[in-house]
Structure 1
Amino acid sequence: MAVQARARWQRARVVEVADAAEGVRRIVLEPEHPEHAAPGTHIDVETGSGARRVRSYSVVRSEDGGRRLTLSVQLSPTSRGGSAAMHRLRVADEVAVTGPLQNFPLAVGATRYVLVAGGIGVTALVAMASALRRRGADYELVLAGRSRAVMAYLDDLVAEHGDRVRVHVDDEGTSLAVGGLVAGIAQAPAAATTELYMCGPIGLMDAVSRTWAEHGLPTTNLRFETFGSSGRHPAEEFVVRLPQLDREITVAPDTSILDALAAAGVDTLSDCRKGECGLCLAKVVNSTGTIDHRDIFLSESQKERSSSLCLCVSRAAAGSGQARPAVLSLHLT
C-alpha cells in the first residue's frame, strides 16, 4: 500500500452538516489550503484538546478542486472522543485538519474491480465507484449493513450505479456470504486480474482476507482500508502496566493505548493509527483479560499467540464475570 508523506496541518471551516443515515453525520469542510482529494484518500482531524486526539476520516467527495471535502462519521455508542466531537460540529465551526493523505489508492489497469463496503466503510469507496464509472471500467459495488436505515449513501449509490450495486442487509435475511463472493471471483475468467477493494469491520476484513488466500488469488490484488472502531468486544476501560518504566496507566473506553500513553507523557513510535503499518507494535508480557486485536498488520496466528499488539487500535476486555478491568503488561520497543 502506497503511503504519502504527512500533510501539513491547517484550519478548515464547517459549511454543511446533515444526517447521511441513522447515527451517521455528513460534514462538509472548506480547508484553508484546498487540495483535490483523489479516491481512497482520507484526512486526519484533531478532535480534542490537551493531549492531541487525532482521528482519520475518508474523503467521501472532493469538489471544486478540494475546496469542499465531504466526510461522514458514524457515532460510536460508547464515544466520548472522536466521533462524538465530530457529531457536535455545527456550521461555521472550525477544526484542525491535514490535507488529503493517500494510503488506499485506486489502481489503473485491472480487468475487473470489486468494491466491498461493510457499514460505515462505504465512505472509503464512494469516490472509487464514481471514478470507475467515469472510466467505463468493469466494476461491482457490494454493500453490507445491519439495516437499510444505518447504511449511508445507499440510495445515492443505487441511483448512480444501478445494477452494479449488490445490497446485503442482515435484518432482511440477505447477509453477505463472503465465501460465495470470493468463490465467484475465483471462478471467473478474469480472476487473476480482478482487484478487490474493501473497507469495513475487522471481522469482515479478516473473512475476506482468509477466503481470498484459500482460493489462491493474488495477494497484491486485495486492497483494504481500516477504521479504528472495529472490534470483537465492546470497548471498555482497562489498565496498561509498563514494567520497564514502573508505570500503570488506565485506558478509557474512548481512548486508544497510544493516546493514553501520550497523555501520560510516554513517547512511542506511530504512523498510520489504524493498525496497518505496525510501527507502534509492543510486546505483550502478560494479560489478565482477552486481547482484542483490531489491526490488520499481524497475521491470524500472531493474533492467536498474542505475544504482541498494535498500540493504536488493540484493546483488552475483562472475562465474563470479572469485576475488575483487564490488565495488560507491555514492553515498549
Structure 2
Amino acid sequence: MNARTFHDARVLETTDVATDIRRVVLEPPPAARRRADPGTHLDVRVEVPGGRPEVRSYSVVDSTPDGSRLALTVHRSPTSRGGSAYVHGLRPGDSLRCTGPLQNFPLRIGAQRYLLLAGGVGITALAATARTLARLGADVELVYVGRSRDRMPYLTDLQAELGDRVRPVVSSEGTRLDVEDLIARTARDAPGTEAYVCGPLGLLDAVTGAWHRHGLPQTNLRYETFGSSGRHAAGRFRVQVPALDLETVVDPGSTVLEALRRRGADLMYDCLKGECGLCVLPVRTVEGVLDHRDVFLSPQQQESAEALCVCVSRVAAGPEGNDPLLVLDLP
C-alpha cells in the first residue's frame, strides 16, 4: 500500500549522466527508509516559478537494499513547468521534501518472457526492472529508443549488465523502431510475453494499438507515461467552470488543474500523469482542439470530447486571434 507521507531527505550527490539529464542521490531519514522495488517512484515537492509549491513524480532508478540511498534521474526539459529546473538546482547538502518509494508500476515475477521498451528518459522507470530480471536469469529484452547516445542515460551500464539483451535504437545513427514488427514478432514467437513500456505518448499509442491488433492479452501490457507529452505545442487558453463562477487562464507552463487550484477550486487528483482518472471533468464546450495527453480515457472517449484529464490535457488551435476556450462542468 502506498504511504504518501512526506519527509526531508538529504541530497548526497548530483551528477550529469547525459545531456540535460541529472542523477540525484538522496538519503532519507532513518525512520523513512525502506527498500525501493522495481517500478517505484518518489513524489517530490518542488518550487515552480512564482514560489508556488507543486508535487512531481520521479522514478527511483536504483537504491541500496535498506533504502538508505535512493537515486532519481531527471531530464531538464526546455518546456518544463519548473519542476525539473528545481531538481537540477539541488546541490549536495540540500534538503528535498519527498515521500518514500510509491508503487504504480510493479514488476510481476514469473512471466514466460519480458519485453521492456523505454523511450528516452523513460529508461528511469525501467532500469531497476531490467537489472532485477537479469539477476533472476529471466528471458528479457530491453529496447531503448533515443535521439542520440549522449541523451540516453545508463545505456552503457545496462549493456554491460545485460549484454545483447539490450537493443539500442538511436535516431542519430539512422536506426528506427518498427513497433508493428516488434509486436508482431512478440505475438508470433512468445505470446505469453509481458511488456513494460515507459515513454512519450506517441510511443504508448503505437504499442497499445499494435498490442490490440495482434490479439495479445491486455493484462500483459503495463506502462507508465511522461504525462506531459502531447500532439500539439502547449499554448495559452482560457478555462471556465460555471458551477464555481470561475474563469482563469492556463499558461503554456501550467495545467488546467494548477490554474483552477490557484483560483481556489477544490478538485480531486492523484497521479498528475494522466493515468489514474481521478481528475477527469466533464467538458461542456470547447473552442479549439482538445489535446488529450492522458492514457486513462479510451480513444473513443477522447474522440467524443466529453471529458478531460485536467492534470495533463490541454486545448490548442483556437479561433484565430483569440485564446481557445474550454468550459468544464463538475462531476
Q: TM-score range by the shorter chain?
A: over 0.9
Which of 320, 323, 328 aligns to 1:322? It is: 320
Q: Distance in 2 between matches of 1:114 and 1:281?
A: 31
Could you tell me whether the CA contact under 8 Å between 1:51 and 1:263 is conserved in 2? no
Q: Distance in 2 between matches of 1:79 and 1:17?
A: 19
- The secondary structure found in structure 1 opposite 2:110 is coil
Q: CA deviation at 1:325?
A: 2.5
Q: CA deviation at 1:164?
A: 0.1
Could you tell me whether the CA contact under 8 Å between 1:238 and 1:325 is conserved in 2? yes
Letter in 1 for 2:313: S
Instruction: Decide which moves more: 49-58 or 147-156.
Output: 49-58
Q: Distance in 1 between matches of 2:254 and 2:288?
A: 18
Could you tell me whether the CA contact under 8 Å between 1:318 and 1:324 is conserved in 2? no
Partner of 2:237: 238
Could you tell me whether the CA contact under 8 Å between 2:228 and 2:273 is conserved in 1? no
Identity of aligned residues (%): 54
1:199 aligns with 2:198: yes
Q: Distance in 2 between matches of 1:332 and 1:5?
A: 28
Q: CA deviation at 1:323?
A: 3.4
Partner of 1:21: 18
Partner of 1:31: 28
Partner of 1:92: 93
Partner of 1:257: 256
Q: CA deviation at 1:235?
A: 2.1
Could you tell me whether the CA contact under 8 Å between 1:48 and 1:81 is conserved in 2? yes
Letter in 2 for 1:24: I
Q: CA deviation at 1:227?
A: 1.9
Q: Distance in 2 between matches of 1:153 and 1:290?
A: 38
1:115 aligns with 2:116: yes
Partner of 2:295: 296
Q: CA deviation at 1:269?
A: 0.9
Aligned pairs for 1:166-245 (under 5 A) are 166-188=167-189, 190-191=190-191, 193-245=192-244
Q: CA deviation at 1:63?
A: 1.4
Change (3 A) 1:242 1:154: same
Q: Distance in 2 between matches of 1:45 and 1:149?
A: 26
Q: CA deviation at 1:6?
A: 3.4
Partner of 2:103: 102
Partner of 1:311: 310
- The secondary structure found in structure 1 opposite 2:176 is coil
Q: Distance in 2 between matches of 1:326 and 1:160?
A: 50
Residue by residue, what CA displacement relative to the aligned partner does 1:221-269 show, whole Å, maximum 9, x if unpaired?
A: 0011112222112222222111222211112222221122222110111
Could you tell me whether the CA contact under 8 Å between 1:199 and 1:224 is conserved in 2? yes
- The secondary structure found in structure 2 opposite 1:60 is strand
Instruction: Decide which moves more: 100-109 or 171-180.
Output: 171-180
Could you tell me whether the CA contact under 8 Å between 1:51 and 1:259 is conserved in 2? no
Q: Distance in 1 between matches of 2:233 and 2:88?
A: 20
CA RMSD across the alignment:
1.5
Letter in 2 for 1:224: Y
- The secondary structure found in structure 2 opposite 1:109 is coil
Q: CA deviation at 1:14?
A: 0.9
Q: Distance in 2 between matches of 1:36 and 1:256?
A: 33
Query: TM-score, with normalisation over the residues of structure 1?
Result: 0.94
1:128 aligns with 2:126: no
Partner of 2:79: 78
Residue by residue, what CA displacement relative to the aligned partner does 1:92-141 show, whole Å, maximum 9, x if unpaired?
A: 11111011100110001101000000011000000000100111100000
Partner of 1:45: 44
Query: How many matched pairs?
Result: 327
Partner of 2:142: 141
1:284 aligns with 2:270: no
Q: Distance in 1 between matches of 2:235 and 2:196?
A: 31
Could you tell me whether the CA contact under 8 Å between 1:242 and 1:329 is conserved in 2? yes
- The secondary structure found in structure 1 opposite 2:91 is coil
Q: CA deviation at 1:51?
A: 4.7
> Displaced runs of 4+ in structure 1, greater than 4 A?
none
Partner of 1:10: 7
Q: Distance in 1 between matches of 2:240 and 2:186?
A: 46
Could you tell me whether the CA contact under 8 Å between 1:269 and 1:279 is conserved in 2? yes
Residue by residue, what CA displacement relative to the aligned partner does 1:278-315 show, whole Å, maximum 9, x if unpaired?
A: 11111111112221111111111211222111011111
